[in-house]
Amino acid sequence: MDEIVVARGVNKTYDTGAIRVHALRGVDLSVRRGETVGIMGPSGCGKTTLLNCLAGLEDFDSGEIIVDGTPLKGMSDNKKTEYRAQEMGFVFQFYNLLPVLTAVENVELPLLVSGTRAKEARKRALAALEMVQMADRAGHRPAELSGGQRQRVAIARALVNEPSIVWADEPTGDLDSETADEVMGVILDLNKTNGQTFVIVTHDARIGGMLDRVVRMRDGVIVNVDGRNG
């Protein structure tokens, strides 16, 4: 199984002027294609910073990150934005759905922004909603959906461009345990069916236990990696 993400010696420092915070300290990590990987650790350990750097949402100071054969270092902001839109999907804790749009309109939005024709975007958005068992809620706005249903719509939006990798930051953090299990069931089914790679930041050891591997962080470094794939 080849590696879809490779990070070597990644350092990231936040400098507020008054204080310097070493968020990442020489992080090395590889993720195999089709894997589900959790990133866990105490608050402030660098989990979200690592995810954001790997996904090209934040710059890093030194080291290298290669995603699906493409180095992120030195890539312009515009090129990163384009690359993310074409190759990646994102799921966040609080869904980030636009309240004035219906479920299908939220899902098709990334396609429309990237220039897909309206008819094709609608067709693909409905297919993505079908994958997460939300096709019957396509015309509902977020306020008319439960938390679990909103997160399913967010997952459909993340998958609509058929990305090779999906980044998820606490995707079950705002859900009760039963709903969280349902959402994770959707993610794991999609991983199994489509072979998509999922990298998931979570504080929940139960969620971590559902994944192929868990990367544990502390104070900006990876202190342990465990799971079925070693």
User: How does pLDDT run across 169-223, given as a tens digit for each residue?
Assistant: 988 887 788 888 888 888 898 899 888 899 999 988 899 999 999 999 999 999 8
CA 60, 17, 57 angle in degrees (round to 5)?
25
User: In whole angstroms, how far apart are CA 159 and each of 1, 49, 152, 165, 192?
Assistant: 22, 23, 11, 9, 14
The CATH T-level fold of domain 3-227 is Rossmann fold (3.40.50)
Contact 108, 125 (CB under 8 A): yes
Q: How much is the mean pLDDT over the chain? A: 89
Q: Where are the domains of the chain?
A: 3-227
The pLDDT of residue 217 is 93
The pLDDT of residue 229 is 45
User: How does pLDDT run across 123-181, given as a tens digit for each residue?
Assistant: 999 999 998 889 999 999 999 999 889 988 998 998 888 888 999 998 888 778 888 88
When pLDDT is averaged across residues 51-79 and rounded to a whole number, the result is: 91
The pLDDT of residue 227 is 62
pTM value > 0.85: yes
Q: Give the separation between CA 37 and CA 50, rounded to whole angstroms.
A: 13
Q: Give the separation between CA 113 and CA 17, rounded to whole angstroms.
A: 37
Q: Give the separation between CA 151 and CA 148, rounded to whole angstroms.
A: 5
